[in-house]
Structure 1
Amino acid sequence: MLSVATHHARQSRVTINPTKTKAVILNKPKNINRSDLNWTLGNTPVYPSEDTSHLGLIRAELKENNLNVDARISIARGTLYSLMNTGLHGTNGLNPQTSYKIYKSYVIPRLLYGMEILPLNQSQHDIMTRFHTKTLRNIHSLPTRTATGSVFMLLGALTIEAEIHKRQLSFLYSVLSCNNSTIQGLIDTNHHEY
């Protein structure tokens, strides 16, 4: 596979950097050791690693979704902290409605990037929900014990699960309405299997 990639890269006059290339073995059989595997990209050896990042999503052998959820929350938290100087905090900050619009425009996209394509389980949804609800409580300067329903109703906010569902429906529409013949072939092939 790497020889094919190298061949096509040379034809297209593209240089693949072997030090930045990673190989991740997904669904690795238990009888194979990672240390026994090695490949070459051109003349440089490429060794398998436990995880890599592609287009902002982490691909890993184990607990891929957990790693992605943790990374997304970390990025969203950093974005949120960078907006604190603008008044995006509860007490003596901006109006809660304005703060929520800023949060919805800047933080939620960073939090949910790529989550529409991952099969998240309930515990992963719960981790994201806790971050989202805590942030909304802080925006409104509400105590921790405030009922979750009132936090969402006061701001007119959606739950994180609803935000993910909106993105999943948008992604589905984009795939179904795409004019790309390769994607249409995949849709038709998968449709006939069911």
Structure 2
Amino acid sequence: MNEATMRRVDSAMHLGIIRTNSMKQNITANIETNIKKSRRSAYALLGSGFHGDNGLDMETIIHLIKIYILPVLLYGMDLLTPRSLNLKKLEKFQRKMLKQLMSLPTNTPDPAINILTGILPAEAQIHLKVMTLFINVCTQPNESLEKQLARRQLCIKSMNSNSWFIEVKQSC
């Protein structure tokens, strides 16, 4: 532009979601960033009594986790739909954080944490967000661009495509 060369970049951020050259790198970069941000969010709340035994009561801690930490941890995951290893990273961080904040031993069974807190595993929360987004697109008027795009993707793309709509179709 104007005789100035534009440098080539490997990643860029748009609306808080990192975009890279490949989808696998997108997912990995976003998960690592989300874990860092949610860890910082938890540490920021520690000064106000957001910790186990001598802090706030469990109900308040769980409420703060649902409002301040989980949205940061799962931001953009409904669009990126992580699988296997990346999903395990999210699950591991969520379980470890919940055990620490509830002052539970590390060998506490994972289902016990979900039952005590009422917080779904990260995979279930991501699936819930994906289905909610898909339903929101499907219930729009037929003239909306989003619904037209969804119809086109579902009709034209093959089942081995990397389309988000095909991933949703396969998960149903």
In structure 1, what is the equivalent of residue 5 of structure 2? 45
Distance in 2 separating the partners of 1:89 and 1:171:
33
Counterpart in the other structure of 2:28: 66
Aligned partners of 1:167 and 1:119: how far apart in 2?
Answer: 10
| 2:166 equivalent in structure 1 | none
Residues 123-132 or 184-193, more deviating: 184-193
Q: Which has the higher contact order (CA 8 A, sep 6+)?
A: 2
Once residues 58 and 45 of structure 1 are traced to their aligned partners in structure 2, the CA distance between those partners, rounded to angstroms, is: 23
* Alpha-carbon separation, structure 2, partners of 1:67 and 1:46: 24
Aligned to 2:146: 183
Please give the alpha-carbon distance, in whole angstroms, between the structure 1 residues aligned to 2:48 and 2:125: 25
Match of residue 117 from structure 1: 79
Query: Which is richer in strand?
Result: 1
1:107: which partner in 2?
69
Structure 2 residue matching 1:90: 3-state secondary structure: coil
**C-alpha contact (below 8 Å) 2:81/2:126 kept by paired residues:** no
Q: Which string of whole-angstrom CA distances, capped at 9 and with x for unpartnered residues, describes residues 65-93 of structure 1?
A: 11110000011111111111121111211
Cα distance in 2 for partners of 1:45, 1:178 equals 43
Deviation at 1:188, TM superposition (A): 2.6
- Amino acid across the alignment from 2:156: E
Contiguous gaps of at least 5 residues in structure 2 = 158-172
Quote the Cα distance in structure 2 between the aligned partners of 1:147 and 1:54: 38
Give the gaps of 5 or more residues in structure 1: 1-39
Q: Which has the higher helix share?
A: 2
SS where residue 78 of structure 2 aligns? helix
Q: Write the letter of the residue equivalent to 2:111.
A: G
1: distance between equivalents of 2:43 and 2:51? Answer: 9
The reply on whether 1:135 has 2:97 as its aligned counterpart is: yes
Structure 1 residue 183 displacement after superposition: 1.8
- For 1:121 and 1:156, how far apart are their aligned partners in 2? 23
Matched positions, count: 154
Task: State the identity as a percent.
Answer: 29
| CA distance 1:46–1:122, change in 2 (3 Å) | same
Specify the code of the residue in structure 2 equivalent to 1:183.
E
The within-5 A match list for 1:1-194 is 40=1, 42-62=2-22, 63-179=25-141, 181-193=144-156
